[in-house]
Protein backbone atom coordinates (compact mmCIF):
# COMPACT_ATOMS: atom_id res chain seq x y z
CA UNK A 1 0.00 0.00 0.00
CA UNK A 2 1.30 3.45 -0.90
CA UNK A 3 1.91 6.03 1.78
CA UNK A 4 0.01 9.30 1.92
CA UNK A 5 3.12 11.26 0.95
CA UNK A 6 3.60 9.20 -2.22
CA UNK A 7 -0.01 9.71 -3.31
CA UNK A 8 0.15 13.43 -2.51
CA UNK A 9 3.37 13.84 -4.52
CA UNK A 10 1.90 11.92 -7.47
CA UNK A 11 -1.24 14.06 -7.52
CA UNK A 12 0.77 17.27 -7.23
CA UNK A 13 2.96 16.17 -10.15
CA UNK A 14 -0.10 15.38 -12.29
CA UNK A 15 -1.63 18.80 -11.53
CA UNK A 16 1.65 20.58 -12.34
CA UNK A 17 1.83 18.70 -15.66
CA UNK A 18 -1.74 19.74 -16.50
CA UNK A 19 -0.92 23.33 -15.59
CA UNK A 20 2.13 23.26 -17.88
CA UNK A 21 0.17 21.77 -20.77
CA UNK A 22 -2.48 24.47 -20.46
CA UNK A 23 0.19 27.16 -20.25
CA UNK A 24 1.64 25.97 -23.57
CA UNK A 25 -1.77 26.05 -25.28
CA UNK A 26 -2.33 22.30 -25.32
CA UNK A 27 -5.85 20.90 -25.21
CA UNK A 28 -6.55 18.40 -22.46
CA UNK A 29 -9.30 15.78 -22.23
CA UNK A 30 -9.31 13.82 -18.97
CA UNK A 31 -11.72 10.88 -18.92
CA UNK A 32 -12.54 9.82 -15.36
CA UNK A 33 -15.36 7.40 -16.19
CA UNK A 34 -18.04 9.36 -14.32
CA UNK A 35 -17.00 12.64 -15.93
CA UNK A 36 -14.86 14.10 -18.73
CA UNK A 37 -12.91 17.26 -17.95
CA UNK A 38 -11.80 19.23 -20.98
CA UNK A 39 -9.61 22.27 -21.29
CA UNK A 40 -9.77 23.63 -24.82
CA UNK A 41 -8.18 26.97 -25.69
CA UNK A 42 -7.82 27.65 -21.94
CA UNK A 43 -11.59 27.15 -21.40
CA UNK A 44 -12.64 24.50 -18.89
CA UNK A 45 -15.72 22.36 -19.49
CA UNK A 46 -17.12 19.20 -17.94
CA UNK A 47 -19.46 16.49 -19.18
CA UNK A 48 -20.91 14.18 -16.53
CA UNK A 49 -22.09 10.63 -17.09
CA UNK A 50 -25.79 10.45 -17.83
CA UNK A 51 -27.72 9.31 -14.76
CA UNK A 52 -24.97 10.30 -12.30
CA UNK A 53 -27.23 12.62 -10.33
CA UNK A 54 -29.81 9.84 -9.95
CA UNK A 55 -27.11 7.48 -8.66
CA UNK A 56 -25.75 10.01 -6.16
CA UNK A 57 -29.24 10.94 -4.97
CA UNK A 58 -30.33 7.32 -4.48
CA UNK A 59 -30.78 6.10 -0.89
CA UNK A 60 -28.35 3.18 -1.31
CA UNK A 61 -25.59 5.59 -2.40
CA UNK A 62 -26.09 7.68 0.73
CA UNK A 63 -25.78 4.59 2.93
CA UNK A 64 -22.54 3.60 1.15
CA UNK A 65 -21.06 7.06 1.72
CA UNK A 66 -21.89 7.01 5.44
CA UNK A 67 -19.54 4.06 5.90
Split into its structural domains, the chain has a count of: 1
CA distances from 10 to 32, 34, 37, 66 (A): 17, 21, 19, 28
pLDDT digit string, tens, across residues 18-52 = 888 888 888 999 898 888 999 998 888 999 888 77
Q: Give this prediction's pTM.
A: 0.58
Expressed as residue numbers, the domain containing 26 is 4-66
- Give residue-wise pLDDT tens across range 43-65: 889 998 887 766 666 677 666 66
Amino acid sequence: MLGTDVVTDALNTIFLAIKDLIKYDRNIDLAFGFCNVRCTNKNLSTVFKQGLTRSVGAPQFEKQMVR
